[in-house]
């Protein structure tokens, strides 16, 4: 079972990137987390001047940090990312059964 933890916050820094959100998915395996991370890394943000996304893997967990200039851009980016994350996760869970990942 994959555990998903999401948090969001409004950063009051004077920087351009005022809105942020963090997502953590526990794959309980570095290998599975790296497969999903590598699969999702090829999809770059469509508006990099308005949204940026950073991903990392540690202790079997995929951590994703989003920052955006406006809440609506953050919501759209996060929502689209979760859609492809769900697909990648289901694919690893379905086809990774019985295989050494």
Residue 93 sits at the vertex; the CA angle it makes with 34 and 73, to the nearest 5 degrees, is 60
In this prediction, residues 81-94 reach a mean pLDDT of 92
Question: Cα separation of 6 and 92, whole Å?
Answer: 21
Percentage of the chain with pLDDT > 90? 60
Question: Which tens digits make up the pLDDT trace of 40-76?
Answer: 999 888 888 999 999 999 999 999 999 999 999 999 9
- Those residues with Cβ within 8 angstroms of residue 52's Cβ, 6 or more apart along the chain or in another chain: 17, 45, 66, 67, 68
Residue 84 has pLDDT above 90, yes or no: yes
Please determine, for residue 38, whether its predicted confidence score (pLDDT) is greater than 50. yes
Residues 28 and 60 sit within 8 Å (Cβ to Cβ): yes
Q: Please, what are the domains in the chain?
A: 3-95 (3.30.310.50)
Nearest to 21 by CA among 68, 58, 80: 68
């Amino acid at each position: 079972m994959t555990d998903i933890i999401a948090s969001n916050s409004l950063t009051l820094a004077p920087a351009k990137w005022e809105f942020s959100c963090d997502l953590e998915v526990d794959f309980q395996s570095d290998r599975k987390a790296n497969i999903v991370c590598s699969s999702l890394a090829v999809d770059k943000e469509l508006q990099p001047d308005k949204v940026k996304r950073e991903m990392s893997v540690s202790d079997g967990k995929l951590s994703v940090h989003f920052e955006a200039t406006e809440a609506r851009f953050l919501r759209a980016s996060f929502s689209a990312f979760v859609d492809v994350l769900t697909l990648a996760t289901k694919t690893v869970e379905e086809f990774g059964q019985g295989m050494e990942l």
